[in-house]
């Protein structure tokens, strides 16, 4: 990906259909043509994409799959209240 830095953020763990899920958001810091993609884990399914090519989406999904354990570990430590209060 040649558009500058790609930043990643993750949601707290949410329960959907009885399964634990995490939303992973990728954003570029390119002011001219910003890109955003949201991937739902554990399925590594792109649920929203603005600007990332199909190849770039596959790279992001592969990253999420390879880092699934770490993503869920970090997401489980996120406090919704702390995030809401900006702490």
Q: Which residues of 27-52 are buried (b: 16+ CB within 10 A; e: fewer)?
A: bbeeeeeebebbbbbeebebeebeeb
* 25 closest CA partner among 2, 53, 50, 1: 50
pLDDT digits (tens, 9 = 90+) for 20-46: 999 999 999 887 889 999 999 999 999
Model pTM score: 0.86
- Domain ranges (residues) in the chain: 6-85
pLDDT digits (tens, 9 = 90+) for 66-86: 999 999 999 999 877 666 666
Which two structure tokens, joined as six digits, stand for 71?
């993503």
């Amino acid at each position: 990906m040649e558009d500058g830095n790609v930043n990643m953020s993750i949601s707290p763990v949410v329960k959907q259909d009885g399964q634990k899920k995490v939303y992973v958001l990728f954003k570029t810091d390119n002011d001219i043509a910003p890109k955003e993609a949201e991937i739902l884990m554990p399925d590594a399914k792109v649920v929203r994409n603005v600007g990332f090519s199909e190849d770039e989406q596959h790279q992001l999904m592969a990253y999420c799959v390879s880092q699934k354990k770490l993503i869920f570990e970090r997401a489980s430590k996120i406090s919704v209240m702390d995030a809401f209060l900006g702490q």
